[in-house]
Amino acid sequence: MTELSVVGKPTPKKDGAEKVTGRTRYLHDLVLPRLAHGKILRARHPHARLVRIDTRRAAALPGVLAVLTAADVEQEPFGFARDQTALKAGKVRCVRDEVAAVAAETAAIAEEAVALIDVDYDELPAVFAPQAAVRPDAPRVHDERPDNLTDLRYQFSHGDVDRAFAEAAAVVEGVYRLHFVTTCCLETMVAVAEWDAQGGLTMWSTTQVPFLYQRELARALGISGDRVRVIQPPVGGNFGRGLDLYPIDVIAALLARRVGRPVKVEFERLEEFVASPTREPCEIRLRTAADVSGRLLAREAHVTVDNGAYVSWGSTTPYVMLATVAGLYRVPNVRFDTTIAYTNNPYSGSMRGYGNLESTFAVESQMDELADRLGLDRLEIRRRNTTKSGDVNPQGFVVTSCAMRECLEAVADAVDRPAPPPEAGWRRGVGYAGMFHVAGGARIYRSDGCGAIVKMDDFGKVALITGATEIGQGSETVLAMIVAETLGVPLERVEVVNSDTAVKPWDVGAHASRTTFIAGNAARMAAEKLRGDLLAMAAEQLEEPAERLAMNDGAIFVAAEPQRRLPYERVARAGHYAPGGRTLVAEAFYDPPTTMLDKDLRGNVSATYGFAAQAVVLDVEEATGAIRVRRVVSAHDVGRALNPLAAEGQIHGGIHMGLGYALAERLVVENGQVLTASFMDYAILRAEDMPELVVRLIESHEAEGPFGAKGLGESGVIPVSAAVANAVHDAVGVRFTELPITPARVRAALEAARR
Amino acid sequence: MTELSVVGKPTPKKDGAEKVTGRTRYLHDLVLPRLAHGKILRARHPHARLVRIDTRRAAALPGVLAVLTAADVEQEPFGFARDQTALKAGKVRCVRDEVAAVAAETAAIAEEAVALIDVDYDELPAVFAPQAAVRPDAPRVHDERPDNLTDLRYQFSHGDVDRAFAEAAAVVEGVYRLHFVTTCCLETMVAVAEWDAQGGLTMWSTTQVPFLYQRELARALGISGDRVRVIQPPVGGNFGRGLDLYPIDVIAALLARRVGRPVKVEFERLEEFVASPTREPCEIRLRTAADVSGRLLAREAHVTVDNGAYVSWGSTTPYVMLATVAGLYRVPNVRFDTTIAYTNNPYSGSMRGYGNLESTFAVESQMDELADRLGLDRLEIRRRNTTKSGDVNPQGFVVTSCAMRECLEAVADAVDRPAPPPEAGWRRGVGYAGMFHVAGGARIYRSDGCGAIVKMDDFGKVALITGATEIGQGSETVLAMIVAETLGVPLERVEVVNSDTAVKPWDVGAHASRTTFIAGNAARMAAEKLRGDLLAMAAEQLEEPAERLAMNDGAIFVAAEPQRRLPYERVARAGHYAPGGRTLVAEAFYDPPTTMLDKDLRGNVSATYGFAAQAVVLDVEEATGAIRVRRVVSAHDVGRALNPLAAEGQIHGGIHMGLGYALAERLVVENGQVLTASFMDYAILRAEDMPELVVRLIESHEAEGPFGAKGLGESGVIPVSAAVANAVHDAVGVRFTELPITPARVRAALEAARR
C-alpha cells in the first residue's frame, strides 16, 4: 500500500467544528434530573491540626442535602503512595486539603453552606522547600515520616562516571531551578457521580486514564472495580491533569452515595488554580563532561523534587528526567539520583512533557556551555553527539528509526531564513535545543496495550470503538483516518466511540504521547481483520478468490479488472442478508514489544523513540529586559505524519505551552498559599504573544508504527525553554538557570553583569 | 451443562429497582444545553384540502425559533407504503395529520405559537369504514387510489377447502368485529433530534427497531443511513408502538435542522391518544368445518382491515392472522383473503400480539361452537386437534418442540381448583382458548439476526453489547443471565449495553417475541467464544490443557482437581498482562435457519413456535351485565423459562392487556375524531380489576433455543379475549362476536335473549 488516500492528508479534527461553534457538550454542561451540586471546603492553613469542625449551621441551610467530613464517611487512602484520603482527618497538610464537602440543590446554596462551616485549626509549623524538609529539625508533613522523604527514589548508574569526569577535556555544571506551573485547562475540573440501585457507580469524569481511574476510584471507595463505570465527555484540555484520581472525584461519589442523587462538583477558576495539579517544582544539579572534540563522556544529575503534601505523578517525573540525562545525545557514562521530599505545598501531577522540559532545560543549557567552552559551533556539538538508529542507550532503550540528524539540519536550514532585524536597543539571539522522548508507548504499567473493536453496519458506517481517550489531541481524527485508510472507505463514514468503560476495551490511558502509536496499531489491526472478512464476503459475491480483490475509495473490485466492482456497503449488506450471513465486527489488542524498567531503571520501555530539534530566534531589549520571540523552528521525527495538520497543531500548542513555561507562566506559591489564582495574575501567553512558527515534519518511517508513525503529543513543548535560555544567552550573554525568564529577571541580570 | 446456576432462577429485572424508585431517566427527562422544544399542529378535519396556512402570527411570537409547513422543507415520502410525508401538503386525510410544526425556546411558547397558526380548510367528504371505502362512489382518501385499496393483500389457499366444507359434519361461521385500542404507554411519544456540524443526525428515540428506524428516517430526510445515529434511552412502554417511523421523528429532525439546535418533541397525553398508533380495527369472516369426531377439516377466512389514512404495520397483521387460521390446531384445508382499504380514520401500528388476538378470538370462538354443535367437551375438541412436534402446517411452518397438549392439561387441572362460588344473581362461566405464535424469531425482513459483543475487563466486569432493544420486557436481564450462565460468572457482574446504534451490532428489532430467542442465541454464542478464550488463558496459567478445565461460580478450575482454581478475573488480568497478552472481546451473530414467506405465503418463518392455553373463570351479573373475572389460568410452552419471574410477569402483563381488550378498552373514533382522549374516557383496567392469575410454565426444551428457550412476549395477551367470550357464553349462553364485552352490551344481549 504505497499510495495512501486518507493518511498523510492534512485533515481538520472531527470534533473541531463542534468545538469552535460552541456545540460541544463538556461535562460542565451535563444536566440530569435530580442533579445535586457539591462544593468543597479547603484548609485555611498549609499545616494545622483540625481541632473541631462544626457543620450544624451549614446543614441547617435550606436546600442543603448533606454536609460531609471525614468523620461521616468510610474512605480508603488513595493516590500514588496511598497517602491521602479525600476528606482529611486529624490535620491538613496543604491549602488544597479538603476539610468538608456539601451537596445542595444548587451550586450557590452549596457555596453558601461551605461558608457556614466553622473549623477550628491548631496551626503547625510548616515547611515549603524539599531542601528544608529533609533537615532533621523540619516539621513533619506526615507524622509517620520523620525524614519527610517519600518512598520514591530514582537511582541509576552506568559506566565509570568518575573516571569520565576526571579525564574530560571540559566539564560544565549547574543548578537548574524549575517552578510551579499549572495546566490552565479552559475546562476546570469537574466530576459527576451517580449510584444506581444495585450499588453501581457511574462517574462522568475528565480523566484521561479511565481504566486506572476506575480501579483507583473503586479502591478509594472500598468497592470492587467492576462496580465503577466511567464516562468521559469531551474535555476542554487536560495536558496530564487527568492522569490521577483526585479528591474531587471521591468526594463527588461520597456525596452522591449520601444523598442518593447524582452530584456534580465543579471547580471555579480560583479553585482550579489552587486545587488542580501542577507541574512539579524541582532543582536539577547537573554536570556534563566532554572530550576535546565535544563528544560527551558523562553526565551526572541529582534532582530534588518538591513533592508537596501528597504523592501524585509529578513526583515520578525523574523517571523521565533520567531518560533525558541518559538518552538525549549519546552519553556513555551516567549517574543519576533523586531526593523527593514532602512539603506543605500543593502537590503536582502529570503535565505534558512530564519531567522532560525540566531535564532538557538543564541538559541543553549545558550543551551550549560545552560548545562555548570547547569553541565549537552549537549545532556542530549536537551533530557530533547525535543518537543514531541502532543505538542502545545506557538504560537499554533501543533506538529503531531516528532522524535526529535530519531534525538538526532542518532547524539550521529554517533558522537561516531572513527575519526582520532587531530594533534599536534590542539584541538578537538564536538558541537551539534537541529533544528525546518515548514515541512508541511507555510501559509504566504492566500493560501498555490498547484494544479496538471495529464494526461496520448495513449503511457502510464504520464505528471504531477504541480504548483510547480523546483529550483534545486529535486522536479521534487520526484513529478514524487509520481505519478509513486500512479499509479503503471514506473518512466521514468512520465514527469513533471512546467515552464509556462499559463499551470500550482496555487502554492504559492518554499519556506518554502513546495514543497514535498504540491505539493506532490496535485500530489498524482490527480494521485489517474486518477488511479480510469483508473481502471474503466480496469474494463470494464477485465469485473471485479474495486474494484477487482490492478495496479502495469505498469500493471492492477485482484488482485486475477494476470495472468489476461493488460499493463496500453493498457487500456488507449482501453478506449480512445471505443465508448463514453475518455482520461485520472485528477486534484487536495491541501491546507493544517493550518491558518495564527493572529496579536498576533499565529496560526498553518504548517501542520507538521520538526526536526533535528546535531553534528559537528572539530579541532582548537591553534597557528593560523584555524578550520578543520572533520565530520558533521545530523539526520533528514523527515517523510518518498521519495527519500533518494535527501534527503541526500539536507542535504549535506545545510551543505555546513551552514559551509560557520559559518566559511567563508561574504559579506563585508563598508559604504554601497560591497567590496567582486568576488569569489576571497567572500569565499564559496570548495569541498576539506568539511568534512565527515553522514546523518541519521529518518522516523516518518507523516500522512498528501504524503506517510508520511515532508519537508526537509532547515533543513540541519539551525543548522550548532550553532553546529560549540558549537564545537569551546568545543575545545578551547571560545564562539563566531558573525559569521563567521574565523581563525583571533579565534586567536584573543585565544590571548585575554590567556591575 | 445440566446444573444451571443462573438460568432458571427467578430473577428480578436489572432495571426494576431504578424504575420503581423513580430514578430511571426516560427520554422525556433528557435535558441538553440549547434544547429547543417542538410542537405539532394537527388537522382540524379528517379530510380536507389545505387552502392556506398562515404562520406569520406564530413566527412573530417571542421565543419562537421556527415554524415549518410542508412548503418550507424538503421531505421524502415514508411509511410502510411510502404514502405520507411528515408535514402534509395539499390535503389532510385524518385528524392525526401534521399541518405545521413549531420550535421554540420552551414547550409552552411552542404550544402558544401552534394556536396562532391560521389554517383555512376546504372540507371534503370522508369515509370511515373499509366496507364503505371500497364502494365505487366512496370519497378518495388518496387521489391516486380510486378504489381506496392499499397494495396489501394476503391470499392463501391450501387443500380442497370447498370439498372439506361440503363433506363436513359440522360447519360454523361468524363475523367477528374488532375495534380500535391503543397501547396506553405510560411514556408518551417523544423524539429528540440534533444535527452535528458535519451533517450527522443523532436521534434519541423510543423506537424498538433502531436499525430499521435509522434507515427509514434517513430516507424520509433524503440522507444516507450512515449519517443517522440512534440512541434509545429506557422506555416507559412500547408494546409495538415503536415499530415504525412516525411524523414526530421526522418533524423533530426537520425542526432541529432548521434551528441548528437540538429539538425535543413530546406528546401530551391527549396527543398520545389522538396521534400514537393503534391496534387496527378489522372484521373477520370465518368459517370452520369439522368431522363428526370434532377433527377440523377446513377453515376459510376473509379479513377486512380499516387501514386508516396511511399504511403502517397495523395493516400487515393479516400476515399473522393467517398463521392463526392455518396453524392454531391442525387444519388440513385453508383459504384466506383480505381487503385492506384506506379510510379517513387514524392509522394503526404494531401492537403486542399483532393480529393474533383478533384471529384467535374468531378461531377459538368457533372451536367452542363446534364442540357445542357436536356435543363434545370443549377441552376434548381442542385435544383432538392439537398440533404436535413434527407437524408441518399448511403454510409450511415446521413445528419442532410442542407442548400444546400439556398446556391444555395444565389449564384443565388449574381451572378445576375450587373458587368462591358466584354471588346470588351472578352466573359463573369457564372459557378456554389456545394460542399459536412465532417463538423463534419471525423472518419478515431479509435478516432476522442479532449481533452480540461480549467484553470482559480487568475487573471481571462483563459487558454484553447486544443489538437487542429493551422495551420493558426484561431482555436486559435475561440476556445478562444467559451470558452469566455461559461464562460461569455472577450475574451482577454482567452489564448490558444496548442503546446506541454506533455501538451495538445489527438487530432487526424488538418484535415477534424474538429477543430472548434470537439475541439470546447471539449472546450465548459470543459468551461461549469468550469462555473459550478465557479457558485458553487459564490453561497456560494452570498448566493444564483447556479441555480439563471448568468454569463456574466465578472460578476456573481443573475439573478433576477443583481445589486447583483461580478467580476468573485474575485469569483475565494475568492473561492481559502476560507478554503478548490480550484483552477479552468476542462477538457473534445469530440468524435463525428460517425463510421469508414466499408470494404464496408459505415458508418456515420462525425457528420454533410457541403454544399456550388459557382458561378464564368469570361471573356475569344477569341484572346488570357486569362481568367479574375471578381467575385466569395461563399455561405456556416456553421451551425453558430462563427467568421464571420475568416469564410470569410477561404473562401477567399480557393478561392485563388482553382483559382490557376483551372487556373494557375502546378508542372511540367517530367520524374520524378520537373521542376517548384521556384516561378518564379510555378504560384500561386498574390493579383492583385484576383477577387471580395462575401461570404454568411448561418446558419443552427447544433444541434451537438458548438453553432451550422460546419466545414468550406476546403469548399471554393473545388468547384472553377468546377465552373471555367463551366463558361469557358458558355463563349466560350469549355469544359475543364483537369486543369489548361491556356490561351495557351484555345486558342488552341478555334482554334480547329474554325477548
Partners of B561 in the β-ladder: B558
Question: Does any CB of chain A come closer than 8 Å to the CB of residue B202?
Answer: no
Assign 3-class secondary structure to B578-590.
Answer: CCCCCCEEEEEEE
Contacting residues of B for A196, CB less than 8 Å apart: 17-18, 23
Q: What is the pLDDT at residue B417?
A: 82
Mean pLDDT confidence for A319-332: 98
Q: What is the pLDDT at residue A420?
A: 83
**Helix (H), strand (E) at residue B86:** none
Q: What is the pLDDT at residue A2?
A: 59
**What region, left, alpha or beta, does residue B144 occupy, with left being phi > 0 and alpha being psi -120 to 50 degrees?**
alpha
Q: What is the pLDDT at residue B3?
A: 82
Task: For residue A583, give the nearest of B21, B458, B505 by CB distance.
Answer: B505
Interatomic CA distance for residues B613 and B435, integer angstroms: 6
Same domain, A687 and A664: yes
Whether the per-residue pLDDT at B549 is higher than 70: the answer is yes
Give the count of alpha carbons within 13 A of A6, CB side only: 23
Whether the per-residue pLDDT at B461 is higher than 90: the answer is yes
**Strand B426-438 versus strand B609-621 pairing type:** antiparallel
What chain B residue is nearest to A460 in terms of C-alpha separation? B226
Interatomic CA distance for residues B596 and B605, integer angstroms: 6
Total tally of structural domains belonging to chain A: 3
Interatomic CA distance for residues B107 and B113, integer angstroms: 10
Same domain, A691 and A602: yes
Residue A3 lies in a domain: no
Contacting residues of A for B460, CB less than 8 Å apart: 224-226
Phi, psi of B452 (to 5 degrees): -145, 140
Same domain, A282 and A253: no
Same domain, A608 and A499: no
Same domain, A250 and A293: no
pLDDT, tens only, A273-309: 999 999 999 999 999 999 999 999 999 999 999 999 9
| CATH number of domain containing A194 | 3.90.1170.50
Print the domain residue range for B629: 278-442+597-754
Same domain, B389 and B458: no
**What region, left, alpha or beta, does residue A686 occupy, with left being phi > 0 and alpha being psi -120 to 50 degrees?**
beta
Candidates B11, B29, B32, B226: best to mutate against A (most CBs of A within 10 A) is B226
Give the count of alpha carbons within 13 A of B333, CB side only: 20
8 Å CB contact between B101 and B41: yes
Residue B147 lies in a domain: no
Whether the per-residue pLDDT at B416 is higher than 90: the answer is no
Residue A163 lies in a domain: no
Whether the per-residue pLDDT at A105 is higher than 50: the answer is yes
- A:475-504 residues touching chain B, CB 8 A cutoff: 492-493, 495, 497, 500-503
Same domain, B210 and B72: yes
Mean pLDDT confidence for B238-249: 97
Contact A493 B226 (CB under 8 A): yes
What chain B residue is nearest to A575 in terms of C-alpha separation? B447
Give the residue from B229, B258, B275 where a domain finishes.
B275
The per-residue DSSP string of A288-346 comes to: EEE-TTS-EEEEEEEEEEEEESS--GGGGTHHHHHHHHHHSS--SEEEEEEEEEE-SS-
Q: What is the pLDDT at residue B183?
A: 97
Phi, psi of B203 (to 5 degrees): -115, 125
Query: DSSP secondary-structure letter at A375?
Result: T
Q: Which three cell numbers stand for residue B526?
A: 459470543
Same domain, A611 and A575: no
Candidates A14, A18, A23: best to mutate against B (most CBs of B within 10 A) is A23
Contact B506 A457 (CB under 8 A): yes
Q: What is the pLDDT at residue B2?
A: 59
Residue A9 lies in a domain: no
Whether the per-residue pLDDT at B166 is higher than 80: the answer is yes
Mean pLDDT confidence for B383-393: 98
Same domain, B428 and B293: yes
Contacting residues of B for A455, CB less than 8 Å apart: 453, 503, 505
Q: Which three cell numbers stand for residue A518?
A: 498504540
Q: What is the pLDDT at residue B1?
A: 43
Task: For residue A25, give the nearest of B32, B461, B576 by CB distance.
Answer: B32
The per-residue pLDDT of chain B, averaged, comes to: 97
Mean pLDDT confidence for A537-560: 95
Tell me the C-alpha to C-alpha distance, in Å, between residue A560 and each of A212, A487, A548, B143, B447. 50, 19, 7, 53, 33
Contact B459 A576 (CB under 8 A): no
Task: For residue A503, give the nearest of B215, B446, B465 by CB distance.
Answer: B465
Whether the per-residue pLDDT at A1 is higher than 90: the answer is no
Mean pLDDT confidence for A696-712: 98
Interatomic CA distance for residues A517 and A301, integer angstroms: 31
Give the residue from A542, A568, A590 where a domain finishes.
A590
Q: What is the pTM for the complete model shown?
A: 0.96
Residue A130 lies in a domain: no
Candidates B195, B450, B494, B506: best to mutate against A (most CBs of A within 10 A) is B506
Q: What is the pLDDT at residue B418?
A: 79
| CATH number of domain containing A321 | 3.30.365.10
Residue A341 lies in a domain: yes
The per-residue DSSP string of B438-467 comes to: E-S---SSS---EEEEEEE-TTS-EEEEES
Q: What is the pLDDT at residue B580?
A: 82
- ipTM of predicted assembly, 2 dp: 0.95
A251-255, B3-7, B402-406: least confidently modelled range: B3-7
Contacting residues of B for A12, CB less than 8 Å apart: none
Whether the per-residue pLDDT at B501 is higher than 80: the answer is yes
Interatomic CA distance for residues A646 and B106, integer angstroms: 40
Same domain, A572 and A697: no
Question: Does any CB of chain B come closer than 8 Å to the CB of residue A592?
Answer: no
Residue B161 lies in a domain: no
b/e per residue, B534-568, with b = 16+ CB within 10 A? Answer: bbebbbeebebebeebbbbebbbbbeeeeeebbeb
Residue A6 lies in a domain: no
pLDDT, tens only, A466-477: 999 999 999 999
Give the residue from B256, B275, B294 where a domain finishes.
B275
8 Å CB contact between B483 and B527: yes
Tell me the C-alpha to C-alpha distance, in Å, between residue A61 and each of A58, B35, B231, B326, B420. 5, 32, 40, 71, 58
Percent of chain B past pLDDT 90, that is, above it, reads 97
Question: Does any CB of chain B come closer than 8 Å to the CB of residue A2?
Answer: no
Q: What is the pLDDT at residue B63?
A: 98
Same domain, A561 and A574: yes
Mean pLDDT confidence for A493-519: 96
Contact A196 B18 (CB under 8 A): yes
A147-161, B42-56, B414-428: least confidently modelled range: B414-428
Whether the per-residue pLDDT at A613 is higher than 90: the answer is yes
Same domain, A479 and A437: no
Whether the per-residue pLDDT at A568 is higher than 80: the answer is yes
Partners of A264 in the β-ladder: A37, A192
